[in-house]
């Protein structure tokens, strides 16, 4: 099958150092401190339901969803609450409100089970959000306003370096298929399609062998951003999601591999979302895919890989195309964190050059999978011309970074778009609140 989505780029996939590393659970030691951010999802921060000094068990609810778009949060360990209103290092806002707790033992397997029975209620109670990075509460996607026909399980993992979904497709194949079929049955869908990329042939084989003819498995060409929701829908079904519409408007819902497994674990093991698999790679001594508790500082994961293999230049959370530079190694693992990529001073052959003037080459336009004109958008964004940005469809930007990747002048296009979108969202929220 040829990739049918528009434009895109071909960065080196850089997955070899971790794609054969089986998932390892990281050890928790008694006395370890955890910071659990209250904003690990799109929408309203969760509301703490614990107090200082309270003893909690793994899986116990510690913060509840505080609105329609919000998500529950559970303790990742047995421990004692230190504070329910601290501020912790967090990538999105530099600091975020969090619950602080200290582990009281190293047990990691027993947990307080969920008690719900219906799928949507279970997923909501479990605090499951989109684990591919979007962090949108999954129970909302699973109770769509319109009836979808197709579930696409997003196993493209097109970001360079990341291999956690690849390992999960290989190591938890039956559970992944069972989770996907459970969603199919619950929403009375016609089809379940697993979409992955050709550089994961072993996962494709495992899914086809285990899935038999209960699910369709499609291996797509390696092209970035194949795993973008709209790009994946286009590649697999040929359908375009119209501007301002959602995938469900064309009869499709998309869930990431890790999310579908979290749904499986919630439904069949009654397990809330307290852990996730994170790829830790780049300049570490032993790149790994680590099953880590939410709230554990990322420094512990880097240490679990033998530490950095030299002096750290920077650490990127997520992949190099869409990720965010970590400003601190105390940032905790959060529900949407799929990768930690360490860059060493020696290995960075040339430091990222400073941006140079645009030479109007239009490479960014030819690369943009959303059909935008990044060069034009950048011009309006720099001048804070928000009406023009709306006309040129800034909100359709999926922040994939393909424009940055091809720009010969090293302009920080994606970054300025991300900032402008945030400013527009804040202005809109202030307008709603009469601010
Ligand atoms: S403008 Fe947005 S969608 Fe287009 S390439 Fe740049 S980051 Fe990606
Ligand atoms: S790729 Fe860079 S230099 Fe070329 S038009 Fe776009 S912004 Fe300008």
Q: What is the pLDDT of residue 264?
A: 98
The reply to whether ligand 2 has any atom less than 6 angstroms from the CB of 382 is no
CB-based contacts of 139, cutoff 8 Å, min separation 6: 120, 121, 123, 124, 128
Q: Could you give the count of Cα atoms lying within 13 Å of 300 in the half-sphere of its Cβ?
A: 22
Q: Which domain holds residue 209?
A: 120-269
Point out the domain boundary residue: 269, 301, 326. Answer: 269
Q: What is the pLDDT of residue 346?
A: 80
Q: pTM (2 decimals)?
A: 0.93
* Residue 191 structure tokens: 């089809």
Any idea what the CATH number is for the domain that residue 183 is in? Answer: 3.40.50.11540
10 Å CB burial of residue 91 (0-12, 13-18, 19+) is buried
Point out the domain boundary residue: 252, 269, 286. Answer: 269
Same domain, 369 and 265: no
Between 257 and 351, the more confident residue is 257
pLDDT bin (cut points 50, 70, 90) of residue 350 is low
Q: Count structural domains, the chain.
A: 2
The mean predicted confidence, pLDDT, of the chain is 93
Point out the domain boundary residue: 243, 269, 295. Answer: 269
Ligand 1, atom 6, residue with closest C-alpha: 403
How many whole angstroms separate alpha carbon 338 and alpha carbon 157?
Answer: 10
Residue 96 has pLDDT above 90, yes or no: no
Ligand 1, atom 1, residue with closest C-alpha: 374
The reply to whether ligand 2 has any atom less than 6 angstroms from the CB of 361 is yes
Pocket test for ligand 2, best of 7, 353, 355, 358 (most atoms within 8 A of CB): 358
Query: Does residue 228 fall inside a structural domain?
Result: yes
Query: Does residue 82 fall inside a structural domain?
Result: no
**Which atom, in ligand 1's list, is nearest to the CA of 401?**
7
Query: Does residue 115 fall inside a structural domain?
Result: no
240 alpha carbon – ligand 1 mean position (Å): 17
Query: Does residue 52 fall inside a structural domain?
Result: no
Q: What is the pLDDT of residue 424?
A: 85
Q: What is the pLDDT of residue 94?
A: 74
373 alpha carbon – ligand 2 mean position (Å): 10
pLDDT 10s digits, 280-309: 999 999 999 999 999 999 999 999 999 999
Query: Does residue 210 fall inside a structural domain?
Result: yes
pLDDT 10s digits, 127-184: 999 999 889 999 999 998 899 999 999 999 999 999 999 999 999 999 999 999 999 9
381 alpha carbon – ligand 1 mean position (Å): 13
Residue 225 has pLDDT above 80, yes or no: yes
CA 195, distance to chain mean position in Å, is 16
* Residue 96 structure tokens: 């975020």
Structure letter (DSSP) for residue 353: P
Same domain, 262 and 367: no
Same domain, 147 and 265: yes
372 alpha carbon – ligand 1 mean position (Å): 7
């Amino acid at each position: 099958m040829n990739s049918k989505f528009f434009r895109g780029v071909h960065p080196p996939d850089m997955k070899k150092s971790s794609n054969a590393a089986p998932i390892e659970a990281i050890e928790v030691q008694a006395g370890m401190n955890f910071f659990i951010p209250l904003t690990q999802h799109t929408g309203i921060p969760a509301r703490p339901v614990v107090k200082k000094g309270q003893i909690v068990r793994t899986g116990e609810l510690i913060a509840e969803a505080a609105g329609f778009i919000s998500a529950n949060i559970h303790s990742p360990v047995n421990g004692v609450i230190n504070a329910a209103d601290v501020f912790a290092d967090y990538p999105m806002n530099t600091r975020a409100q969090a619950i602080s707790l200290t582990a009281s033992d190293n047990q990691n397997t027993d947990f307080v089970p969920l008690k719900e029975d219906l799928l949507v209620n279970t997923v909501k109670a479990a605090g499951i959000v989109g684990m591919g990075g979007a962090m949108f509460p999954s129970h909302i996607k699973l109770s769509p306003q319109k009836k979808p026909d197709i579930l696409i399980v997003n196993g493209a993992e097109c970001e360079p370096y990341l291999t956690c979904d690849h390992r999960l497709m290989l190591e938890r194949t039956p559970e992944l298929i069972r989770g996907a079929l459970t969603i199919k049955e619950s929403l009375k869908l016609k089809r379940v399609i697993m979409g992955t990329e050709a550089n994961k042939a072993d996962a494709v084989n495992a899914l086809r062998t285990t899935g038999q003819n209960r699910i369709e498995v499609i291996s797509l060409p390696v092209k970035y951003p194949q795993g973008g929701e709209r790009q994946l829908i286009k590649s697999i079904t040929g359908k375009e999601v119209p501007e301002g519409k959602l995938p469900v408007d064309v009869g499709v819902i998309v869930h990431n591999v890790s999310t579908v497994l979290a749904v499986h674990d919630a439904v069949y093991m009654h397990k809330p979302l307290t852990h996730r698999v994170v790829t830790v790679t780049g300049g570490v001594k032993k790149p790994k895919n680590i099953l880590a508790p939410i709230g554990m500082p990322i420094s512990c994961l880097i240490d679990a890989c033998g530490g950095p293999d030299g002096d750290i230049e920077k650490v990127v959370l997520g992949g190099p195309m869409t990720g965010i530079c970590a400003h601190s190694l105390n940032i905790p693992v959060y529900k949407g964190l799929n990768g930690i990529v360490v860059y060493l001073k020696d290995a960075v052959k040339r430091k990222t050059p400073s941006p140079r003037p645009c030479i109007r080459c239009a490479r960014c336009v030819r690369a943009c999978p959303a059909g935008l004109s990044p060069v034009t958008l950048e011009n309006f964004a720099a001048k804070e011309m928000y009406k023009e940005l709306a006309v040129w469809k800034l909100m359709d930007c999926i922040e994939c970074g393909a424009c940055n990747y091809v720009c010969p002048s090293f302009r920080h296009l994606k970054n300025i778009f991300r900032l402008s979108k945030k400013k527009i969202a804040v202005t809109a929220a202030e307008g709603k609140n009469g601010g």
